[in-house]
Structures are given as C-alpha cells and as structure tokens.
Chain A
Amino acid sequence: MDLTTFLIQCLNSLQYGLLLFLVASGLTLIFGIMGVINLAHGSFYMVGAYLAFSLAPVVGATIGGGFFATLLVGVVLAVLFGYFLEWAFFSFLYEREHLQQVLMTYGLILVFEEVRSLLVGDDVHGVAPPDLLNGSIALGDMMTYPVYRLFISGVCLALALGMYFVFTRTRLGMMIRAGSTNREMVQSLGIDVKFLYRVVFAAGVAIAVLAGMVAAPVSSVYPGMGSTVLIICFVVVVIGGIGSIRGALFASLLIGFVDTFGKVMLPSAAGVLVYVLMALILLWKPDGLFKAG
C-alpha cells in the first residue's frame, strides 16, 4: 500500500468511525441514563437516510431550500418524533426487564420497517451530495479527497464536541450525568426526571437521524441499513463499555480503522474482522475497555 492510499484510507476510517460514534453514542446514552436497551435505534439511522432522500424534493418545493435546509427540517422532525415516541412508547419500558425491552423494541423495528415500506417503498436509492460539497479537494500535492466525506467528519466532530460541552459545562449536562448514576436522588432534588429523559431520548433520536441523513450520499439508502448499523453499534458499546461516551468514541474509531483497512487488505474476511476484534477484547476485558463515565 502506498502512502497516498494509506492516507486516504485513514481519512475514510476516521469518517466511518466518527459516523459510528454518532449513532452509538445515542445508543449508549439511552442505555446508560435510562437503562433501556433500544434495538430500534438503528431504525432511526435508516429513517434519517430515507428522509434525506424523500424530504429533499418536498423541502425544495415548499421553502425552496437545498441540502442544508433539508437537514434542518429533518432534525426538527426527528426531535419531535423522538419526543413523541418517548412519551408514547419508551416511557413504559424503563421499569421492565431487559428481555422485555429487547423484544418490544424488536417489534418496533418490524413496525418501522413496514411503515417505511408502505410510505417510501423498498427500493435502494442514491442521494447526491449538494453541489457546494461535491467534488474533491486537494490535500497537499499528493492526492485529492472527496469534500463531502470531510464534511461528514466535520459534522460528526462538531456534534461530538457539542455533546462534550453540554455534558461537562452546562446544567443540563450535569443533571443528565446525575440522573444516570442516581435516579431517585435527582428526582428528590426536584428535577423533573420525566422531562429530562424525554429530552435525552429526543436528542439521541435526532443525532441518529442526522447521522443517517448526512451519511446517505456516501452509503446509499437501502432497507437493511438500520440492522447493519445497529449490530456494529452493539459491538462499539460492548468494546467501549456501556454508558461510556469516551469508550464509544474510542471503540468507534478503532472499529472504523479495523473495518476500513480490513476491507482493503482482506476483503473476504472483512465482515468477520470486527467480531474477531470484539472477541479478543472480551477475552481481556469482559466489561469493555472503559467503565461508565
């Protein structure tokens, strides 16, 4: 592998890893704070991708906006949807056993997939990146790299920093962290835990939807994408440690690199590589690399 290819694959790994982090952080947050394991989280990603495809013409026709307007509208819709979903469905899952949560959210996946099938169909679609971000940019004098992929990495990084800021520097973040370690105490302090959970859940949904929207031009839009990303997110959470955002970031990047370079160097074994990695790490640390924090 020459240097140019290596650098390009590094950038690809970074982009994939950061995208994974975005989706996985929602999953691990919702589990770490509300104790709910949500199998349907991958469906939000899928919804985001299909939104990018189906919303664009609507937004273009009604308010005349382009790609960024579609993103904004999508995020707003996702927040509302997440808020509603928490109120209507997920709030009933908090006190239940994990097994029941697994099955009920599995049922939810089936519902989401079929609703999507009814509304938008089962075809595979491509989504074009906006003209502004289309094309490649020269990096140094050795190579060019697609601008859009840099954009994805940029968005994910910005969101990651934003989450870090909210968690560590704001009151809301403090309440969230407190709520994850001691629910009763937070409640007795007069903080409306129900509202807090709803906000966290809506945020988790919105982030996953946004990830799907942003990823659509690169990964294309197809029915099984929710399941695929969900299971990889599971591996991220297992490797990184449940409830740990730091762990999710590290694990996402690790998987990003292993998967990307694996596909290039050992194409037939690429699918399995990530799981072998998980197995090895489990041998060493059954609770994941980082404790919840």
Chain B
Amino acid sequence: MNYSKQIFVALAFLALAVFPSMSGQYGLDLATKIMVFAIFALSLELLVGTTGLVCFGQAAFLGIGAYSAVLLSPSDQAGSVLWLLPAAMLLAGGYALAVGALSLRTKGVYFIMVTLAFAQMAYYVVHDTPLGGGTDGIYLLMKPGVGDWLDLEQPLVLYRFTLACLLATFAFLALLGRSRFGRALAGIRVNEQRMRATGFSTYPYKLAAFVISGALAGLAGFLFAVKDGFVNPELMSWHVSGEVLIIVILGGLGHLRGALIGAFAFALLQEFFKSEAIFGEFAKHWHLGLGFTIIASVALLPRGLVGVPGQIAARLRGAALGAPADAGPAGGNHGGH
C-alpha cells in the first residue's frame, strides 16, 4: 500500500519539530506565523475542500478569535490559556453558527457573496465601534500562559505550543475526514441532491461543518493575537479571506496536507516578492507579483501543488507512451490527507 502521503506529513511535522535548533529569531517568528496560517487554512479546507462550501468570509472567525483573546485577557496580569483559548474558539464558533444558519440557506455564488458580506459586517463592527478599539487596534499587554509551566511570552514556547495546536488540528481533521460525518460531507460535496435522496438531511451537516471550521479559525486567531500581541480590524479584512482561500487552492483542494503546503508556499512567495534584495525599489509593489502568481497558479495548477507530482508523472507517462497526457482521476481521495 502506498504510504507516501503519510510519510510526507510525518516528515513535515518532524522538520517543524527540529527547526528551532537551526533557525534564528526571524526564522522562528516566520515559522510560527506560517503554522498559524496553516491552522487557518486547515479550517477553510474543511469547508471548501471537504464539503464544497466556498466561504469568502473566513477572516471574520479569525478576527473574532483574535479579538476575544485580547478583550478577555485581564489587563494587569497574564491570562490563562486554559480558558482564553476555548473562549476564543467558542465565540468564533458562535458567530459561525449565526452566519452559517443564514448563509447555508443560499447556494452557489450567493453563498460566496453572502459569507463575504457577513465578514464585512464583523469588520465594520470592530472598525467603527469602540468595542474593537477602532482602526488603531488593541494591544495584548501580557501574553497568556498556564501557571508556571507554559509561558507564551517566550518565542520558543509559543512555537512549540503552536506546533502542538497544528498537530492536534491536523489529527482531528484527519479523523473527522474518515469518520461517518466526514464521509457524509464528502458525499455532499460531490452530489448533495443524491445525499438528500438517500436520506441525509444535509443542512445540519453543513452547519456543523461551518461551526467547526469557524471554531478552528478562532483557534488560529487566538494564536495570531498571542504571537503579535496586537490586533486590528485589518485582520478581518476580506483580503485576508481571499488570501486563505488562495492558500487552500494553491496547496490543493481536498487534501489536508494541501493546507500545509499552501501556507508555506504562500508565505515564501510573499517573502520573495517583498524582498528588496531581489526587487529593490519595486518590492513595495509586491501585490503585482502576487496577483500574477495567483492567476497563473489557478490557471496552470488545477489540483494545486499537491497535484504537481501527479501532473509531472502523467506528462512523463504520456511522453513515454506517445499519448496525450491525462489529467488523472478526479480529486477527493478517500480519507486522503
């Protein structure tokens, strides 16, 4: 049996575990940020890749998790992760419940637009009202911890904690993917009508996926706030929603490791285009390179980076046989991660 996927994932986590011993401060910080984005991407993968729900408002849940972490932290001492983290996830999941209950009544393009609009609503709440400290944002003066043994103030501890969260999220979604619930979501993605004809009430399934996804995005938001020690409304901007959607597509839909690969690739792409060493003066216009990359990757890599080995193999096979390259079977592996 082919265990290449599992080996890849195991190696990736192993590499992440030993990375701190080789990296400097900047590398550690970057890697932590990438891992947080990977958790964020995993949350969206559950919706888009597994269930086929294209949500363009994931940033709202990220932001709610982040703002919860800051607003619920006591101002005079370090808060406790034990209650702050679940609270952040609960609040984010709660908003997801409200948004999902309404949005899931719509389908297709409407759903995309509606999720975007609801995210904008959350954005305006923190942007315009004193609740979120307005455009200036709010500072997290003391990073939370647990007693003496978990102090997230220290970068290395935060890195390990984030890695643990990433591992837990990945494992949870992997289990979910092969469970009855996950198989039902996969069926809904392929043909929701057929699932209904068979006897599945699909709305509760989709809503549950939406809430879980929101809560996981809230987890990412919590980590984001703790890492930066600062939140501002731009965290909820629709550009963030767009970026995480791109990460998931770039990595490869329908595969959990796609979210990991996408997060790393996207972060590296950003660093590349922002690099003044390579682009000099032009580096401040890095959105241009990013925009072209997005267009190119969607056009040329239909199955994302995850599908690249398959595409190469198909081309080689085609070249060897003298037949046109075949795109291979449709995506959506059984329990693939």
Instruction: Say if the two chains contact directly (CB < 8 Å).
Output: yes
Chain B interface category by residue count = 35 or more
* Contacting residues, chain B, for A288 (C-beta < 8 A): 110
Query: Is the beta-carbon distance between A235 and B249 smaller than 8 angstroms?
Result: no
A214-239, CB under 8 A of B: which get 1 and which 0?
Answer: 00000000000001000100110110
Give bound CA distance, A283 to B116, whole Å. 17
Query: Is the beta-carbon distance between A107 and B291 smaller than 8 angstroms?
Result: yes
* Contacting residues, chain A, for B109 (C-beta < 8 A): 31, 37, 98, 242
* Contacting residues, chain B, for A276 (C-beta < 8 A): 121
* CB-CB contacts below 8 Å: B155-199 with A: none
* Contacting residues, chain B, for A108 (C-beta < 8 A): 291, 295
Interface centre among A110, A283, A288 (most CB of B within 10 A): A110
CB contact between B110 and one of A109, A242, A279 (< 8 Å): that residue: A242
- Asked if A98 meets B285 with Cβ closer than 8 Å, knowing A103-B245, A109-B291, A272-B121, the reply is no
* Contacting residues, chain A, for B294 (C-beta < 8 A): 103-104, 106-107, 110
A111 at the interface (CB under 8 A from B): yes
Query: Is the beta-carbon distance between A275 and B288 smaller than 8 angstroms?
Result: no
Give bound CA distance, A100 to B295, whole Å. 9
* Contacting residues, chain A, for B120 (C-beta < 8 A): 231, 275
Nearest CB in chain B: distance from A239 CB, A? 10
Give bound CA distance, A109 to B56, whole Å. 15
B95-109, CB under 8 A of A: which get 1 and which 0?
Answer: 000000011011011
Nearest CB in chain A: distance from B271 CB, A? 17
* Contacting residues, chain A, for B287 (C-beta < 8 A): 110-111, 113-114
Nearest CB in chain A: distance from B249 CB, A? 6
Query: Is the beta-carbon distance between B106 and A287 smaller than 8 angstroms?
Result: yes
B interface SS class: helix
* CB-CB contacts below 8 Å: A260-293 with B: 268-272, 275-276, 278-279, 282-283, 286-288
Nearest CB in chain A: distance from B93 CB, A? 18
* Contacting residues, chain B, for A99 (C-beta < 8 A): 48, 54, 245, 249
* Contacting residues, chain A, for B293 (C-beta < 8 A): 107
- Asked if A238 meets B117 with Cβ closer than 8 Å, knowing A104-B295, A272-B125, A286-B110, the reply is yes
A63 at the interface (CB under 8 A from B): no
Query: Is the beta-carbon distance between B291 and A110 smaller than 8 angstroms?
Result: yes
Nearest CB in chain A: distance from B133 CB, A? 14
Give bound CA distance, A279 to B56, whole Å. 16
Give bound CA distance, A15 to B103, whole Å. 30
State the B residues within 8 Å of A (CB). 48, 54, 56, 102-103, 105-106, 108-110, 112-114, 116-118, 120-121, 124-125, 127-129, 238, 242, 245-246, 249, 285, 287-288, 290-295, 298-299
8 cross-chain CB contacts under 8 A? A111-B295, A234-B113, A234-B116, A235-B113, A271-B127, A276-B121, A282-B103, A287-B110
Instruction: Please name 14 further chain A to chain B contacts, defined as beta carbons within 8 Å, in addition to the given A31-B109, A103-B245, A231-B120, sorted by A numbering.
Output: A98-B112, A99-B54, A99-B245, A99-B249, A106-B246, A107-B290, A111-B295, A237-B113, A268-B129, A269-B128, A271-B124, A271-B128, A272-B121, A275-B120
